[in-house]
Structure 1
């Protein structure tokens, strides 16, 4: 059964880049320990430093949804309230 790939794009407000970056970095280690997490990699755009991207793979959509309700995701949302311009999520499945 194919796993779920998440591509999450997060655009920080220009004056909040370091705050958002630091909070996103805090999310990586606890997320890697969440049930069903295969990988969880944070990227920052080389040209536009306000743009961040998570590339994540999960065993199932249900386990990803559990991750989205964890205390560490809630803490990120609280810490970055008002600092993020835009978020987009794509749920994808590999076609091999």
Structure 2
């Protein structure tokens, strides 16, 4: 499984638009093949920062997700609305056990 974390900090005047675009992106991404989970949350310490947490079946389906035109459009839109550079990190994960 591939775990993706990311974040964007919106400008105060663009937060509502960033939130709207992020929710649209998350809901669309959840319908893609290989998407296990995809969520966005508001950072409790910085209410202008949105944090993404995603789980994908494997690297191939994640790369397919990145290639979807709507995904590329989403990233470009965020960059124009962000106060700081966006971040994204990928991790390969294996479940050790379920408690």
| Cα pair distance change 1:87/1:78, threshold 3 Å | closer
Show structure 1 runs of 5+ residues with no match: none
Q: Structure 1 length normalisation: TM-score?
A: 0.85
Question: What CA RMSD, in Å, does the superposition of the two structures yield over aligned residues?
Answer: 1.6
Structure 1 moving runs of 4+ over 2 Å: 77-81, 93-96
Measured in 2, the distance between the counterparts of 1:21 and 1:35 equals 24
Structure 2, unaligned stretches of length 5 or more? none
| Matched positions, count | 94
Structure richer in strand, relative to its length: 1
Aligned equivalents of 1:28, 1:94: Cα separation in 2: 21
The yes-or-no answer on 1:60 pairing with 2:78 is no
Identify the residue that residue 38 of structure 1 maps to in structure 2: 36
TM-score, normalising length: structure 2? 0.83
TM-superposed CA distance for 1:71, in Å, is: 2.7
Q: Deviations over 1:18-57 (max 9, x none)?
A: 1101100111121011111000011111231111111100
